[in-house]
Amino acid sequence: MQDHQLTQEEIAQLTEADWKQRLSADEYHVMREKGTERPFTGVYNDTNDKGIYRCKGCGAKLFDSESKFEASCGWPSFDQGIDNKAITEHVDNSLGMTRTEVTCSNCNAHLGHVFPDGPRETTGMRYCINSVSIDLDKEDK
């Protein structure tokens, strides 16, 4: 995990070669090439530990474990970001369909997609996130 959150200045200085060095091949494919990890394979799919999920690329705080829920879709799912500025939404017309992609607002890393089929008692949204895009900063017990 990142020791600190990278600043916009630090991110601006990173080349694609730097990203390839910082990230594993799977992380690079998902975060920089907008790939997707296979369902039910991610380390955080079944995790219930408490803490803050951070962007694996830059260390930005993205999701609180309190917003994580079991969606049985094969990827970690959250009903909201940690705040309105943590994640950016984009129209994604790839694969012959229209979806809403979510990226880290700090470093523009691809995180996954958001769908309007989450828990109705909260936001009604399901942020479907690739485990390789995030790190859990666990709460001290």
- Closest by alpha carbon to 52, among 137, 129, 130? 137
| Residue 73 known to bind ligand | no
* Single-letter amino acid, residue 128: C
Backbone angles phi, psi at 6, to 5 degrees: -65, 145
Active-site pick, 62, 128, 129, 136: 128
Backbone angles phi, psi at 67, to 5 degrees: -95, 0
How many C-beta atoms lie closer than 10 Å to residue 83's C-beta? Answer: 11
For 68, the 3-state DSSP assignment is strand
Residue 128 is among the residues annotated as catalytic for this protein:
yes
| Stretch (H or E) spanning 26 | helix 25-33
Catalytic residues: 128
Q: Which residues are annotated as a binding site for Zn(2+)?
A: 55, 58, 104, 107
Q: Which residues are annotated as a binding site?
A: 55, 58, 104, 107
